């Protein structure tokens, strides 16, 4: 290998760093609109999937516009907050604020059979990173019509199973209120008791993710307790 002068090494490094920086920023800038669009469509697919409407990248936007009739933001007192777009609220940022100042998004949807559903977004912590999901509640605001969960980087085959149908479908027809008291849905290690309306099976080998999911469902929904109690029919 040739010996290079210090000046050459300095110039080489500067040129390399600057050109790499330009290349990467250009790519990021050019691809950003597409990436943001993907994230938006993904969110719509997940909201739809929580109300048991399956969609893909091509029809998600259209189906979303058809099914979601209203979206708004409430506070923990159950009152509407004006001037905030529910779709763009990032829960992670909200969770850092004091409880009274948090914006709680709510999506009202009409299912194919004409039922009105309330969809609530959730966000929590798994083993390796964030997990999130959407819960859709039937008209009684207690019975779960469907859920969808997703994660950033849980272990494949273990914690990552939370976004699979076998796990998610367990939540169908579970109830989050018992005699008017909020009880949430528990994720039980070793198996839920058959017929218990507030329990689902945990994922074997995915205990920390399961616990995180249970905490996410509980902590997320309890903020809506007042609204749900007031509006129950």
Partner 1 sequence: MEKVEKEPLLSAKNIKLLKNPLGQDNPITVQVLGICSALAVTVKMKPAIVMAISVMVVLAVSNVVIAALRKSIPGRIRIIVQLVVIATMVILVDQFLKAFAFDVSKQLSVFVGLIITNCIIMGRLEAFAMANKPWPSFLDGLGNAWGYGWILIAVSFFREFLGTGSIMGFPVMEKLGVYNFGYEDNGMMILPPMALITVGIIIWVQRARNKSLIETK
Alpha carbon distance 72, 81 (integer Å)? 8
Among 18, 57, 80, 97, binds partner 1 (CB under 8 A): 57
Token pair of 170 as six digits? 């367990």
Question: Which is closer to partner 1, CB of 9 or CB of 93?
Answer: 9
Judged by CB under 8 A, does residue 191 bind partner 1? no
Contact stretch for partner 1 (CB under 8 A) within 5-13, 70-78, 177-185, 218-226: 5-13
150 DSSP β-pair partners: 132
**Residue 159 φ/ψ, nearest 5 degrees:** -60, -30
- 23 near partner 1 (CB under 8 A): yes
Quick one: which segment of 37-45, 102-110, 117-125, 223-231 binds partner 1 (CB under 8 A)?
37-45
When asked if residue 28 is in the footprint of partner 1 (CB under 8 A), the reply is yes
Q: Total binding residues for partner 1 by CB under 8 A?
A: 32
Decide: is 9 part of the binding site for partner 1 (CB under 8 A).
yes
Binding mask 135-174 for partner 1 (x = CB under 8 A): -----------------xx-xxxx----------------
Q: Which residue has the tokens 């509407």?
A: 80
154 C-beta neighbours (distance < 10 Å), count? 26
Q: Cα(147)–Cα(119) distance, rounded to whole angstroms?
A: 9
Cβ atoms of 212 and 131 closer than 8 Å: yes
């Amino acid at each position: 290998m040739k010996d290079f002068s210090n000046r050459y090494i300095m110039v080489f490094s500067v040129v390399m760093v600057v050109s790499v920086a330009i290349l990467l920023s250009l790519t990021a800038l050019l691809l950003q609109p597409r990436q943001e669009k993907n994230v938006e469509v993904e969110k719509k697919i997940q909201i739809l999937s929580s109300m048991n409407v399956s969609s893909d990248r091509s029809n998600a936007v259209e189906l979303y516009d058809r099914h979601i009739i209203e979206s708004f933001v409430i506070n923990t007192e159950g009152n509407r907050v004006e001037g905030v777009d529910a779709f763009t609220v990032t829960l992670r940022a909200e969770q850092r604020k004091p409880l009274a100042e948090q914006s709680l998004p709510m999506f009202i949807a009409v299912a194919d059979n004409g039922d009105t559903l309330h969809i609530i977004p959730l966000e929590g912590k798994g083993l390796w990173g964030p997990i999130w999901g959407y819960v859709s509640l039937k008209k009684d605001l207690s019975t779960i019509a469907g859920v969808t969960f997703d994660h950033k980087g849980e272990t494949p085959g273990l914690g990552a199973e939370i976004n699979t149908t076998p796990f998610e479908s367990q939540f169908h027809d579970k109830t989050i209120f018992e005699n008017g008291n909020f009880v949430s849905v528990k994720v039980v290690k070793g198996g839920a008791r058959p017929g218990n309306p507030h329990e689902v099976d945990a994922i074997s080998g995915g205990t920390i993710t399961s616990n995180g999911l249970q905490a996410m469902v509980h902590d997320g929904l309890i903020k809506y307790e007042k609204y749900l109690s007031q509006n129950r029919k």
